Amino acid sequence: MMKVLVTCPPMLGMIDEFRAMFAEKGIELITPKVVQTLSEEQLMEILPGVDGWIIGDDPATERVFEAGVKGNLKAAVKWGVGVDNVDFKACEKLGIPIINTPNMFGAEVADIAVSYVIGLARETYAIDRGVRNHQWPKPAGISLTGKHVALVGFGDIGKSVAKRLHAFDMFIHVYDPFAEKRPEDLVRYDFAPWPNKLEICDFVVTTCALNQHTRHMVNAETISLMKHGVRVVNVSRGPIIDENALIAGIESGKVHSVGLDVFEVEPLPTESKLRSYDKAIFGTHNGSNTKDAVIRASHKAISLLFGFLNV
């Protein structure tokens, strides 16, 4: 009997929705308990005993895949869009067919990004915490209309964020040298080279993929160029932002507040200084996790994997 390992937490959270699809093919599901990721050592122990792998944000490294192909591993699918944790070149070298599931979550992640923008603008997080502590705070926030947004990344997620923020009558400055621009995009948005115009932006929202060019693109130098009191939102990958530089920006007052769905190390370490700041909204790398999106992406991942396994 073939076996398939699933290590993607959102899919695991709804795994009963998909069991029948595997049962119909006579495939046994392997579903370990995963908080965020499994370690390389855990994966190297499990993978030789499975035929297929639906990957979450796990360290899908060359040594992990090498361990897998020494056993039964025949194919893998990266659940979701981001592939920075997966060594595709190693898969090619080892003859492992692999693919991701792009364009699945643009709307869902954009919704979370906009919720952070609104939360930081109106300080709803402070009001909520105050009421819970038997207080009645009334912070004066800022209006969204007329504010400037530096939007880093203009893929599926970035386009969806831009569409939503444009509806609030905000000015959108897009930073993405590889963006595909429709005629209407050129009318609605300002496309600029990074880090031009950061000094006029009230918000910085990152939605780009993580690669050698984007790692730590928000750093001490670029933060120094930002408008005083900037609000920073990250719904892409944690290492897009140098967290030490961000912490320094918060402590100096340069950065007013942050909305972070992702971090350089996940889960966020207990000792992280970020935990000590009141003007922050934190997530759990959960921007894509709606029931609708999980079903959509999981069906796609399963279909692709079944195709690789010829079942």
Q: Minimal CA–CA distance to 67: which of 105, 38, 24, 25?
A: 38
Q: Examine residue 195 and say whether the peptide bond preceding it is cis (omega within 30 degrees of 0).
A: yes
DSSP string, 217-274: -BSHHHHHHSPTTEEEEE-S-GGGB-HHHHHHHHHHTSEEEEEES--SSSSPPTT-GG
Report, as residue numbers or ranges, the catalytic residues: 237, 266, 285
Gyration radius from the chain CA atoms = 21
Contact between 249 and 219 under an 8 Å Cβ cutoff? The reply is no
Over the range 122-139, which residues count as b (16 or more CB within 10 Å of their CB) and which as e?
bbebbbeeeeeeeeeeee
How many Cα atoms within 13 Å fall on the side-chain side of residue 110?
20
